């Protein structure tokens, strides 16, 4: 599978989400913060995505130079994410020049500290960067357990590690126009069904999905009501009512 999306921040203030949908955008990654500063457009952008049912994720541009600063940034992000739901991962954006001089040991520790805090809080996390940056400034092999969103503005991604998303263009775009909804912005392909993965696992603010068999037995026990009310409740909870009812009939 391949889905097309963009990532935006305050630099795309006034972004036309309806027009983006008309142009084929299937998901949007929002900048949640730059170091310890919340992106001023984040809340408004998130609200618009939700109102239009656009699957959404978040990235955090890190400036951490110590493990303690990584912890502070992670906890800062947790407050930004609180009470919201995200169909796409929470990405740590690792690319700044201030981290190039830290050494591979420290930068790797900064990355893992941040991501482990968010993962422990129930979020699907990953790393945004270029392959060369991670290879040259961190212990890339020690980051294998984390998903990757690789930036390479080219016609081909030559990353030698598995990755779930590719940022193929921004101001420079060799695949398509660099504008979406009339605005220059970064553009991406996602290769995993993140909404299904995240929702089924009960991450990023979602409740873990129940199996059809489990739901059917709950229906029989009376937990979901009867008749039309049952259908409405199951559907609003994101379940396939017909599949559940079929299983109920089989059990009964």
Are residues 155 and 73 both part of a single domain? yes
- Please report the pLDDT score of residue 78 as a whole number: 98
Are residues 165 and 237 both part of a single domain? no
Residue 116 covered by a domain: yes
Are residues 129 and 220 both part of a single domain? no
Residue 230 covered by a domain: yes
* pLDDT tens digits along 95-130: 999 999 999 999 999 999 999 999 999 999 999 999
CA separation, residue 45 to residues 173, 208, 236, 247 (Å): 24, 26, 24, 40
Mean pLDDT value of segment 78-104: 97
Are residues 133 and 235 both part of a single domain? no
- Please report the pLDDT score of residue 207 as a whole number: 84
Mean pLDDT value of segment 183-210: 91
For residue 244, what are the domain limits? 212-251
More confident residue, 237 or 239: 239
Are residues 224 and 194 both part of a single domain? no
Given pLDDT bands bounded at 50, 70 and 90, which one contains residue 236?
confident
Are residues 160 and 68 both part of a single domain? yes
Centre a 10 Å sphere on the Cβ of residue 120 and count the other Cβ atoms it contains.
10
Global pTM reads 0.85
Look at residues 201, 228, 243 and tell me which one is the last residue of a structural domain. Answer: 201
Mean pLDDT value of segment 77-83: 97
**Strands 165-169 vs 147-151: parallel, antiparallel or unpaired:** parallel
Given pLDDT bands bounded at 50, 70 and 90, which one contains residue 60?
very high
Are residues 71 and 120 both part of a single domain? yes
The answer to whether 60 touches 73, Cβ cutoff 8 Å, is yes
Are residues 16 and 120 both part of a single domain? yes
How many domains are contained in the chain?
A: 2
Given pLDDT bands bounded at 50, 70 and 90, which one contains residue 233?
confident
Q: What is the CATH number of the domain that holds 173?
A: 3.20.20.80
Is pLDDT of 209 > 80? no
Residue 87 covered by a domain: yes
């Amino acid at each position: 599978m391949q889905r097309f999306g963009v990532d935006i921040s305050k630099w795309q203030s006034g972004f036309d989400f309806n027009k983006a949908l008309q142009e084929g955008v299937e998901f949007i990654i929002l900048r949640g913060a730059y170091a310890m500063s919340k992106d001023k457009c984040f809340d408004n952008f998130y609200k618009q995505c939700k109102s239009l049912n656009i699957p959404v994720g978040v990235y955090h541009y890190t400036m951490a130079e110590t493990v303690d600063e990584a912890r502070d940034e992670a906890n800062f992000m947790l407050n930004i994410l609180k009470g919201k739901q995200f169909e796409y991962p929470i990405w740590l954006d690792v690319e700044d020049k201030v981290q190039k001089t830290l050494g591979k040991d420290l930068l790797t520790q900064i990355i893992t500290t941040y991501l482990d805090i968010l993962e422990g809080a129930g979020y699907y996390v990953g790393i945004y960067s270029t392959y060369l940056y991670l290879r040259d400034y961190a212990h890339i092999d020690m980051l294998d357990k984390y998903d990757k969103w690789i930036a390479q503005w080219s016609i081909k991604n030559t990353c030698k590690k598995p990755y779930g998303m590719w940022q193929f263009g921004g101001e420079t775009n060799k695949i398509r126009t660099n504008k979406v909804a009339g605005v220059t912005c970064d553009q991406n392909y996602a290769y995993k069904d993140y909404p299904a993965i995240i929702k089924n696992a009960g991450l990023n603010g979602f409740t873990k999905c129940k199996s059809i068999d489990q739901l059917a037995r709950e229906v029989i026990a009376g937990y979901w009501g009867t008749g039309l009310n049952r259908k409405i409740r199951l559907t609003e909870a994101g379940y396939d009512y017909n599949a559940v009812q079929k299983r109920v009939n089989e059990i009964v």
